[in-house]
């Protein structure tokens, strides 16, 4: 056994925990590989005593539930106004014509979510039920944000619930994916320049943009559509739940299969095709309540299955924590512009058939499908052109031997 000093000069500690000693780039301060030639040893070889399944299970149980709750309330923040309309918002505010759609556009910046049973609070303390939608769950959203600030860890180094061995293992595991955990990697102007110079960035953004329009349209107007089938406000709220639940179950199953097969393209296109079928039925079938309600299931299942797959597919093919952060922000930010279109997709004058609205949803779903096909073609061709011989790290932290994680 070599001395501790000799071992540390090679970037490893000789204690039984075998924790990697970070080696920082003198220029950037970013952790880099300390191994000969800059190559990386498989993280399982470096940490044979760490149970990978146990660590991943611990991360899943500690991180995923919190992220799920945050995203759940984030989405409700944007669409709960559709619930408020069922409890007298339009009547109280005397909204006419396209004024409700304009309110949706303004509201797209985000507010608070609503509960089904808030309708029973109508008149309490002099407030209508739709006002309680914003008061009660608005408070809950604010409290949740404060609590999550302390519960969610951004990087392995900050996860107090991981042992030092486990932190080092997770960092090594991340190193094979993005080069380093990213905690010390700053976002630079070069990351934005690289983003805007890469045409694949725009394809990734359009993939999400094309799905946001039908997704927000469904969220904004599905209660109105269901109520138009002849149901009361409370019944409409109850009937709004099953399509989302079905989308959740189907989306989880498809995501698991997609991850197991290491494939995104076909499953994303499957979701898009299902959504197109659903909106097409709504466009062409009228006065058949059960058929129309069933079509809402297809629209929800297809749209909300394809959205996360498109996000993941693009994000996993961007190298480096900082570059991935910039690319993800661009994709989501550009995509959310689709909410503006969704706000004006279903106008009161088009009720009850809403043919223009369904046409818009179908068109943008097709646009997303086209972007997916072009993106698949682009990364397939570019992957074949990659020079895998030069593995030197550039000044922006990228390496020329980076391979696309999900070509398909």
Residue 181: name the closest of 162, 158, 152, 156 by CA. Answer: 156
Model pLDDT for residues 270-293, shown as the tens digit of each residue? 999 999 999 999 999 998 989 999
CA distance 72 to 215: 14
The angle that helices 265-284 and 241-261 make with each other, rounded to 10 degrees, is: 160
- Write down the H helix ranges in 80-198: 81-85, 89-93, 99-107, 129-151, 164-178, 189-197
| Boundaries of every domain in the chain | 185-391+402-408
Residue with the bigger pLDDT between 202 and 392: it is: 202
CA distance 219 to 168: 42
| The length of the chain, given as a count of residues | 408
Per the CATH hierarchy, to which homologous superfamily does domain 185-391+402-408 belong?
MFS general substrate transporter like domains (1.20.1250.20)
Is 92's pLDDT higher than 50? yes
CA distance 398 to 191: 10
Sign of the Cα torsion 77, 79, 81, 86 reads: negative
Residue 359, pLDDT score: 97
Integer distance in angstroms from the first to the last C-alpha of the chain? Answer: 46
Classify residue 184 as exposed, middle or buried by CB count within 10 Å of its CB (0-12, 13-18, 19+). middle
Rg (CA), the chain: 25
The angle that helices 199-227 and 355-385 make with each other, rounded to 10 degrees, is: 150
Question: If you average pLDDT over every residue of the chain, what do you get?
Answer: 76
Mean pLDDT along residues 99-121: 51
CA distance 184 to 318: 18
Residue 12, pLDDT score: 39
- DSSP count for the chain of H helices, then E strands: 17, 2
Residue with the bigger pLDDT between 57 and 204: it is: 204
Classify residue 275 as exposed, middle or buried by CB count within 10 Å of its CB (0-12, 13-18, 19+). buried
Count CB atoms within 10 A of the CB of residue 324.
19
CA distance 371 to 296: 24
CA distance 283 to 365: 14
Residue 106, pLDDT score: 57
Mean pLDDT along residues 319-336: 88
Contacts of 99 by beta carbon, 8 Å cutoff, 6+ apart: none
Contacts of 333 by beta carbon, 8 Å cutoff, 6+ apart: none
Residue 116, pLDDT score: 43
Residue 350: name the closest of 286, 297, 276 by CA. Answer: 286
CA distance 169 to 232: 55
Is 29's pLDDT higher than 60? no
Residue 357, pLDDT score: 94
pTM: 0.70
Q: Which of 58-67, 110-119, 253-262, 394-403 has the highest mean pLDDT?
A: 253-262
Residue with the bigger pLDDT between 168 and 378: it is: 378
Residue with the bigger pLDDT between 360 and 13: it is: 360
Is 115's pLDDT higher than 70? no
CA distance 151 to 143: 13
Tokens matching residue 342: 């969704």
Tokens matching residue 189: 């102007």
Model pLDDT for residues 134-189, shown as the tens digit of each residue? 676 677 778 888 888 888 887 787 888 888 888 888 888 777 665 554 555 678 89
> Can you state the percent helix, strand and coil of the chain, rounding each to 5?
70, 0, 30
Confidence of residue 197 (pLDDT cuts 50, 70, 90): very high
Model pLDDT for residues 34-53, shown as the tens digit of each residue? 333 344 456 677 777 788 88
* 23-24 vs 31-32, strand pairing mode: antiparallel
């Amino acid at each position: 056994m070599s001395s501790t000093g000799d071992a540390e000069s090679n970037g490893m500690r000789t204690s039984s925990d075998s924790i990697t000693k970070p080696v920082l780039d003198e220029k950037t301060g970013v952790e880099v590989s300390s191994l000969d030639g800059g190559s990386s040893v498989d993280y399982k070889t470096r940490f044979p005593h760490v149970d990978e399944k146990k660590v991943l299970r611990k991360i899943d149980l500690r991180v995923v539930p919190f992220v799920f709750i945050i995203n759940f309330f984030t989405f409700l923040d944007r669409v709960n106004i559709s619930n408020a309309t069922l409890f007298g918002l339009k009547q109280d505010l005397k909204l006419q014509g396209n004024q409700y759609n304009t309110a949706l556009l303004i509201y797209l910046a985000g507010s608070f979510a609503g509960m089904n049973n808030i309708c029973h609070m109508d008149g309490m303390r002099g407030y209508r039920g739709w006002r309680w939608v914003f008061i009660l769950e608005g408070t809950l959203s604010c409290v949740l944000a404060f609590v999550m600030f302390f519960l969610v860890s951004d990087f392995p180094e900050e996860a107090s619930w991981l042992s030092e061995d486990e932190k080092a293992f997770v960092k090594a595991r991340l190193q094979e994916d993005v080069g380093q955990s990213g905690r010390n990697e700053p976002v630079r102007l070069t990351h934005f320049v690289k983003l805007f110079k890469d045409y694949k960035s725009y394809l990734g953004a359009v993939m999400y943009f094309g799905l946001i329009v039908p997704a927000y349209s469904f969220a904004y107007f599905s209660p109105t559509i269901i109520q138009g089938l002849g149901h009361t406000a409370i019944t409409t709220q109850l009937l709004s739940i099953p399509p989302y639940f079905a989308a959740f179950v189907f989306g989880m199953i498809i995501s698991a299969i997609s991850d197991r097969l290491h494939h995104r393209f076909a499953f994303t296109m499957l979701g898009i095709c299902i959504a197109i079928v659903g909106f097409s039925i709504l466009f062409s079938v009228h006065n058949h309540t059960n058929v129309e309600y069933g079509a809402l299931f297809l629209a929800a299942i297809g749209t909300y299955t394809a959205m996360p797959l498109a996000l993941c597919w693009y994000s996993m093919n961007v190298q480096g924590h900082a570059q991935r952060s910039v690319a993800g922000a661009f994709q989501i930010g550009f995509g959310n512009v689709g909410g503006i279109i969704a706000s004006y997709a279903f106008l009161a004058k088009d009720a009850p058939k809403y043919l223009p609205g369904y046409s818009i949803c179908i068109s943008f779903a097709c646009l997303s499908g086209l972007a997916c096909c072009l993106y698949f073609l682009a990364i397939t061709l570019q992957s074949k052109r990659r020079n895998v011989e030069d593995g030197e790290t550039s000044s922006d932290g990228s390496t020329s031997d980076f391979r696309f994680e999900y070509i398909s």
